[in-house]
Amino acid sequence: MKAVVQRVREARVEIEGEVVGAIDAGLLLLLCAERGDSQLQADRLLAKLLKLRIFSDEAGKMNRSVQDVGGGLLIVSQFTLAADLSGGNRPSFGGAAAPDEGRRLYDYFVQQARLAHPVVATGVFAADMKVHLVNDGPVTIPMQIS
């Protein structure tokens, strides 16, 4: 699985002008299931995400996790993270999981996140979404779990 994690002061997802998911301070996660991924990769990514120490402590060092600071998670499906540009300027998305499998793994990830963390919001799988965020830092971290 691939993900891009952004530490945010606030973030929201809109579909046709309606807010479908929003958080205050926390993490915005753009999530991509790739071909061959399973629940094992989802579990490993979630465990790493929840312990990722990218929030400042009293000394200003990135030493706290989203769980430590009580931040929210906004999880957005993003198959375009599987883009392959090796064949030219038009990306190929053949490395992304098939839509049914991608949805299954996305739903599983969200379900597990809700069991492990108190504040979880989402976008809508395969929808045309507008993502609004105020990046904090900015701090943006790419993640990949094989």
CATH code of the domain containing 69:
3.50.80.10
| Cα–Cα dist 8/119, whole Å | 14
Averaged pLDDT, 102-120: 98
Q: Is the pTM of this model over 0.85?
A: yes
> With DSSP H G I counted as helix, E B as strand and the rest as coil, what are the percentages for the chain, rounded to 5?
25, 40, 30
Averaged pLDDT, 105-125: 98
Residue 55 structure tokens: 């929030």
Question: Which sequence positions are flagged as catalytic?
Answer: 78-80
> Which amino acid type is present at position 90?
R
Cα atoms in the 13 Å half-sphere on the side-chain side of 41: 20
Averaged pLDDT, 3-8: 98
Cα atoms in the 13 Å half-sphere on the side-chain side of 128: 2
- In this prediction, residue 146 has a pLDDT band, given cuts at 50, 70 and 90, of confident
Please state whether 103 falls in left (phi above 0), alpha (psi between -120 and 50) or beta: alpha
Count of the separate structural domains present in the chain: 1
Question: Rounded to the nearest 5°, which phi and psi values hold at 78?
Answer: -150, 75
Is residue 11 within 8 A of residue 30, CB to CB? The reply is no
Domain around 32: 2-144
- In this prediction, residue 89 has a pLDDT band, given cuts at 50, 70 and 90, of very high
Averaged pLDDT, 31-35: 97
Is residue 47 within 8 A of residue 38, CB to CB? The reply is no
pLDDT of residue 136: 97
Is residue 32 within 8 A of residue 3, CB to CB? The reply is yes
Percent of the chain residues topping a pLDDT of 70: 100
Residue 126 structure tokens: 């395969």
| Cα–Cα dist 115/132, whole Å | 25
Percent of the chain residues topping a pLDDT of 90: 99
